[in-house]
Structure 1
Amino acid sequence: MLSSYLEPARTGFLTFVGVGALLLLPLIALHYWRFGRVEPRRALVLYGLLAYGLVALALIFLPFPDRDSVCRGETMLSTTPFQWVTDMRHNMAATGRSGIQAMVTSQAFLQQAFNVALFVPLGVVLRKAYRRGPLAVVCIGLGVSLMVEVVQYTGNLGFYPCPYRIADLDDLISNTGGALLGWMVAPAALVVPTVRAQEEVTAPPGTVGVPRRLGGLVADLLVVVLVSRLLLPELEWALALLVLLRVVVPAVSGGWTFGGWLMRYRTRRPDGERAGAWRIALRELLGVTGLFAYAVVVSPRSDQWWEFGLDLVVIAVVLVGIFVVPVFRRDQLGWHERVAGTRTVVVRPEHAPERVEAGHR
């Protein structure tokens, strides 16, 4: 029996991988619009529910039969409660077995156990992540199960001329019981996080998000690329220009870069005061400028086979530290900013450049 579920489960998981990838950018955009950052708990719960839902649907509806193989005149509706108990007894009588072992290994019992287990994760998530009570879990579990049975009884909403799966009252009972069981065991599910209220996870007012800083960085890099192409084709000159734009100019101008000016932010100390030149230099040494310097100056100096692996490690550490880690932090600070003691602060367009939002002082 177990082998019959492996292929549908595999199909459901592969579908989740594809759908999850398609939803990644919209999810990031939605979170930045609502919270000013990606909220990891909500993202984890969403992807967990997505994976669970797609695998569950695959287990329920797959494999799809040929349209010509349905409509054989069989009764595809069972309205007798606990019919599975009678079926279990028939299974045991047909095999001439009795006792608990025979009962729990019968086809009818295993089918109901599967129906219960299928809805346990739903109850766990509803209680642990969304703090729903037992009545709400029972109602939601019953509603979801009822929708599944209606789809089955209508031949997948009319796609098939007749249903190919039995719409069963026992499935409603088992699924609802599984959701309630999940609610009962939810406290033991340590891997399921609790979704916190929006005001607890939203980035502080005036926080410069990673997408905004990335836009400023792209603008600075475009200047470097254009000037290098036209006037200074050597990579060493491009590195010098990047240092000028990302280190020297901010140190002199009070934290401004060309990209920061376009995106209305600049680099300051955590208290909002002017960052010294050494802070800005350290920030850039551990960030994109340092990575570019490594690629231009350090990496080409050696042809050892292990240097390629080192290059990958350096690239991964820098990019994760400055782009991935901040996405999930409320303050949006990367490793390089935390070490250097700097942060980017929003400048209100209607104020003079020296005015910084009060939330950053």
Structure 2
Amino acid sequence: MIRQYLSPIAMSVGTSLLILLLSALPYAVYNYRKRGQVPIKRTLVGYSFIWYLVAAYFLVILPLPSRESVELLNTPHYNLEPFVFVEHFTQYSGIDLSNPATYPAALLQPTAYTVYFNLLLFLPLGVYLRKYFGFTFWKTLFAGFLLSLFFELTQLTGLYGVYPRPYRIFNVDDLMVNSLGAAVGFLIAPLLKPWTPEIEREKRVGEFQEVSLPRRFLAFGVDIGIVLALYPLAIRFLAVTPMNNPGQGGFSFVLVFILSGLYFLGSTWVLRGKTPGMALVKINIYPREGDGFSRARMMFRHVLFLLWFPGSLVLLEVMEMEEPYSSLLYLTVFVILGTGLIHLGVSAFRRDRRLFHDRFSKTGMKSLN
């Protein structure tokens, strides 16, 4: 009995992860532009609600039968008579209403499982709608009815025409029990308060508040994506094919390094302290000491970073040395990159999150929200 639910739940996890991956970038950009930060608790609750809806949908439609087996079905398409489940329960569970001793065993009979499933399936919906969406009892009950109706119509239409006829019955009892489950979830939501996260009102990031590292990394990722998109255009413009000549492997690194320099230095100069990636998430470079806009400091900042990350990789590709000097070169580059990565990790937990190129150039990052 339990095993038949594992496959839909596993598929819902995979589908929810795909939704998360596809929506993560636009979601982060939207929040950084609107709030100056990504609200962690609100995000976790939102994605958990998406997972719940996807899981509920898969539990309703899976497992999918073959078209051939559905064509051979002669079961009813729908049941519009209410409380049939009560009739089946009293008829097949062995319950004797005049004998309370039969109640426990009757409640554990398979005829009751479908009712329990439908009730529990919609119980989280009532909790979510009351606690996180501020729904009233009647709005929650109506929302539960609408979601249940959507599921039942999905079954009635044979998965919107995929199958020649319904492979599961449209049941008015399911509408009733599902709606009841949402109502019960609404009523017990206060009891679950110790085990459900609270979402506080998010504070907007102030203009001169230090920018978080994830926000900076997102801007950098967008900028690097643009640089990599420019690479094949540069190859075409220069009419060279470094990938066809193994001896020119270092050319690709050099070209990316040059493109990065032109892109970061040029865009910061033209956009007065920000790259397109920074503009997308609404952050800007500003001088930490002195007044006014200083292009020289911002150029120096980018040069320091470019020499550390892409510059050290270019060094490995273009310099050919005999042993033991080649090993010494690799070790030196490894230490430089490793030290920088450790610096990034340490900066994530410091109050002042400026990185080494910010400190040496006496610049910082500010939010434009």
Asked if these proteins are the same fold (TM beyond 0.5), I'd say yes
Question: Cα RMSD over matched residues?
Answer: 5.1
Counterparts in 2 of 1:173 and 1:258: CA distance versus 1, 3 Å: same
Matched, 1:58 2:24: no
Match of 2:364 in 1: 343
**1:263 Cα offset (Å):** 4.2
Contact 2:121–2:178 (8 Å) recurs in 1: yes
**1:64 Cα offset (Å):** 0.8
CA–CA separation in structure 2 for the residues paired with 1:301 and 1:334 = 32
Counterparts in 2 of 1:303 and 1:122: CA distance versus 1, 3 Å: same
Alignment size in residue pairs: 307
Q: For 1:1-361, what aligned pairs fall within 5 Å after superposition?
A: 1-71=1-71, 72-93=73-94, 99-187=102-190, 188-189=192-193, 190-194=195-199, 196=201, 200-204=202-206, 210=216, 211-212=218-219, 260-265=268-273, 267-268=285-286, 334=353, 336=355, 343-345=364-366
Contact 1:37–1:203 (8 Å) recurs in 2: yes
Counterparts in 2 of 1:73 and 1:319: CA distance versus 1, 3 Å: farther
Counterparts in 2 of 1:102 and 1:125: CA distance versus 1, 3 Å: same
Structure 1 residue matching 2:93: 3-state secondary structure: helix
Q: Deviations over 1:290-348 (max 9, x none)?
A: 77899999xx77999xxx9x9999776655677xx79xxxx9x84649x96963247xx
Structure 1 gaps of 5+ residues are 227-233, 246-255, 347-356
Contact 1:8–1:62 (8 Å) recurs in 2: yes
Contact 1:32–1:38 (8 Å) recurs in 2: yes
**1:18 Cα offset (Å):** 2.5
Structure 2 residue matching 1:51: 3-state secondary structure: helix
**1:270 Cα offset (Å):** 7.0
CA–CA separation in structure 2 for the residues paired with 1:87 and 1:219 = 64
Q: Residue type matched to 1:91 in 2?
A: Y
**1:170 Cα offset (Å):** 1.8
Contact 1:265–1:344 (8 Å) recurs in 2: no
CA–CA separation in structure 1 for the residues paired with 2:340 and 2:78 = 60
Contact 2:8–2:55 (8 Å) recurs in 1: yes
**1:162 Cα offset (Å):** 1.2
**1:24 Cα offset (Å):** 2.1
Structure 1 residue matching 2:365: 3-state secondary structure: strand
CA–CA separation in structure 2 for the residues paired with 1:257 and 1:65 = 59
**1:65 Cα offset (Å):** 0.8
**1:11 Cα offset (Å):** 1.8
Structure 2 residue matching 1:110: 3-state secondary structure: helix
**1:154 Cα offset (Å):** 1.7
Match of 2:277 in 1: none
Tell me the TM-score normalised to structure 2 length: 0.62
Contact 1:268–1:344 (8 Å) recurs in 2: yes
Contact 2:148–2:175 (8 Å) recurs in 1: yes
Counterparts in 2 of 1:51 and 1:219: CA distance versus 1, 3 Å: closer
